[in-house]
Amino acid sequence: MTLSTGEKLGPYEIISKLGAGGMGEVWKARDTRLDRFVAVKVLPAHIVERADLRQRFEREARVVASLNHPHICVLFDIGTHEGADFMVMECLEGETLAERIGKGAIPLEQALAIAAQIADALDRAHSAGVTHRDVKPGNIMLTRDGVKVLDFGLATLIERDEAGDADATVAAAAPLTEVGAVLGTAAYMSPEQARGQRLDARTDIFSLGVVLYQMIAGTLPFRGVNALDVISSILQKEPAPLTPQVAGVPRELERLLGRHCARIASNATRRPESC
């Protein structure tokens, strides 16, 4: 569906395009009923007929709607207009963490404060049985009021077994991809995600560690000329220590962002709290 300024999706009047990604285009719009600005995410026309992607879009809406947290983007509405599915979220002013990192490394204290807010949002999601699966700077907004985590489009709903064992989780619904399929962004993938294995909250912990490393160092811990090289680096290499690159990095933080935590986060027999 092609949108233009002034066009309406129900009560939402389109103003301008904010961006686009694999799961849809995002537009700034005005809610004519409540007279407020919102962000409208529209499923691309070329994938509307794909049941799996449409299901993922609908699941994103349910996931976001189930989470109520100051550092998670608020979902206002969901609807369909002329065959196009869309969801309506709060319109955020600020910049993505990716844009901020593009300007250079972030001072240690500020980076830790940002990471703490991301971790708080993820903890809320994990407590509700939701794994984000695509934690990366492009999905994190820095606003005047703090961090906002965006786009749970790749999220998987999980539930504890009857015994309440956090490590024995099963899909709450049929998986949106076949076992072995790889979703997410290569540079921020956990080892188990890169291998196409089943995931739980620990994959987000690993990705958050990558994001924190990148904020502090101004560069990614795992690199390569293409996605396969990056995945190989994640599976086989140890990140370069932060200490020679950045002054004043605490030893404990260096340990947490090193291979020790990477091994624990990807170990299906251990709990994420071990990090």
> Catalytic site residues?
134
Three-state DSSP state, 227: helix
Residues 192, 196, 199, CA angle at the centre, nearest 5°?
A: 55
Running DSSP on this structure, what letter comes out for residue 107? P
- Could you tell me which of 114, 149, 115 has the C-alpha nearest to residue 132? 149
**H/E element, 112:** helix 108-127
| Coarse DSSP helix, strand, coil percentages of the chain, rounded to the nearest 5 percent | 35, 25, 40
Residues 97, 256, 201, CA angle at the centre, nearest 5°?
A: 70
C-alpha dihedral, 220 to 225 to 227 to 228, nearest 10°: -120
Q: In what order do the strands lie in the sheet with 24-31?
A: 8-9, 12-21, 24-31, 36-42, 84-90, 75-81
Q: Under a CB-based contact definition with an 8 Å cutoff, are residues 57 and 85 in contact? A: yes
